[in-house]
Amino acid sequence: ALISMRQMLDHAAEFGYAVPAFNVNNLEQMRAIMLAADATDSPVIVQASAGARKYAGAPFLRHLILAAVEEFPHIPVVMHQDHGTSPAVCQRAMQLGFSSVMMDGSLRDDGKTPADYAYNVDVTRRVVEMAHACGVSVEGELGCLGSLETGAAGEEDGIGADCVLSHDQMLTDPEEAAQFVKATGVDALAIACGTSHGAYKFSRPPTGDILAIDRIKEIHARIPNTHLVMHGSSSVPQDWLAIINEYGGAIPETYGVPVEQIQEGIKHGVRKINIDTDLRLASTGAIRRFMAQHPAEFDPRKYLQESVKAMADICKDRYQAFGTAGHA
Ligand code: G3H
Ligand code: 13P
Ligand code: NA
Ligand code: ZN
C-alpha cells in the first residue's frame, strides 16, 4: 500500500532502523527494488528526480510506482519526489499522488546556486503547509552536500554541481537545524555531513570517519523527532567498477560511503538513505558483461534481466545492512 514517509520513518525510528530510498527511472529499477523488498520483507521508498521526470515523464513514473504497489500489495511503499526545486514542482507532485515530497530550498530554483537561510525557510514552510493539508510528508534540506575529503559538491552534470562550498556550508549547523525545523515543520531533514552526489565522492579508499558522525549526533540531539536523511549515500561497489572496466568501461578510481559508516549514522537518527549511483553502476556492469559474453544476443530482455538481478542484489544488501529487512 502507498503510505506517507512520516508513517514509515516513525516506525523506523521506533525500531532503530533506516530505509534506503532508491531513485527510479525505468521498469528494471522498479522491479529490482520490489523483488528485493519482497525477498527481504522490507518497506520501500522510491523517489523520482527532475532528471527522471525528464527521461520517463511524470505520468509514466507515477504509474510505474502504482503498478509496483498493485503487484506487491503487502509491501508498504512511499512515492517520494526527490529534490523539488520550487513549491510549484512539489505541488504538481502532490497533485499526481506522491505521498512525500522533498523541497530542496538549500539551492535556488535553478537547482544550482546555494540559497540563503531565509529563502529556504520561506519555500519549505509553504510546501509543508500545502502538503500537511493533504497527508503528504515533506523532506527539507539544510546545508550544502560536499565531500569532506575533496571539498567538491559532486555530480558534474546534476544537482548542486556549481555549488561553491564554504566550510560552514559543508556541515549542517545543529542550532540552525533546530530553528529550521521549528520554522518549517518538516517531517524529515536532509543534512550535510560529508557525503556528495554521484560516483566521485572520494579519490582514496575512505578510512575511519569519512562522515561527520559527531555532527549527526549533535543534530539528532537537537531535533530528535525529525527524521534525518543522508543524500549521496552510494557505496560505489569496487567489484562492479572492476567489471565495468574489464568489459570495456573507463571509470577512474573512485570510492563511495562505506556501509559501516552509514550504519553508524543509523545509530544516531539517520532514517532515510538516498541511493542512485550504486544501481546505475550495477546495471551498467551487468549489461556490459552480458553483451561481451553473448555478442550474438539481441533480445533486450536478456541483458535487461541481468541488470535487474544485479540491482536487486544491491537492494537486498542495503535492506539487510540498514535493518530494513523484516519490517514490511
Ligand atoms: O540527487 C540526484 C539523484 O542521483 C538523481 O539524479 O537528476 O540524474 O536523475 P538525476
Ligand atoms: P548517490 O549519487 O550517492 O547515489 O546519491 C543519490 C541521492 O542522494 C539522490 O537524492
Ligand atoms: Na543541497
Ligand atoms: Zn540527493
User: Which atom of ligand 2 lies nearest, measured to the CA of 279?
Assistant: 4
Instruction: State the ipTM, two decimals.
Output: 0.95
Nearest to 171 by CA among 144, 207, 198: 144
Question: What is the 8-class DSSP label of residue 104?
Answer: -
Across the range 197-201, mean pLDDT stands at: 96
Task: Tell how far the Cα of 302 is from the centroid of ligand 4, in angstroms.
Answer: 31
Would residue 82 show up in a list of annotated catalytic residues for this protein?
Answer: yes
Which cell goes with 79?
512515492
Q: Does residue 327 belong to any structural domain of this protein?
A: no
User: Which of the following is catalytic: 82, 187, 276, 278?
Assistant: 82
Helix (DSSP H) and strand (DSSP E) numbers for the chain: 13, 8
How do residues 66-97 score in pLDDT, each as one tens digit?
999 999 999 999 999 999 999 999 999 999 99
CATH of the domain at 124: 3.20.20.70
Q: Is residue 326 part of a domain?
A: no
Domain around 74: 5-321
Split into its structural domains, the chain has a count of 1
Residue 58 lies in a domain: yes
C-alpha torsion 106→109→112→114, nearest 10: -40
pLDDT of residue 131 exceeding 90, the answer is yes
Nearest CA to ligand 1 atom 4: 276
Query: pTM (2 decimals)?
Result: 0.96
Are 177 and 122 in contact, with CB atoms under 8 Å apart? Answer: no
The three-state secondary structure class of 73 is coil
State the closest ligand 2 atom to the C-alpha of 102, by its place in the atom list counted from 1.
10
Taking the C-alpha atoms of residue 227 and residue 233, their distance in angstroms, rounded to an integer, is: 16
C-alpha span between 162 and 200 (Å, rounded):
15
Ligand 2 mean position, distance from CA 135 (Å): 26
Cell 516513525: give the residue.
10
Among 81, 144, 196, 197, residue to substitute to test ligand 1 (most atoms within 8 Å of Cβ): 197
**Each residue of 215-253: pLDDT tens digit?**
999 999 999 999 999 999 999 999 999 999 999 999 999
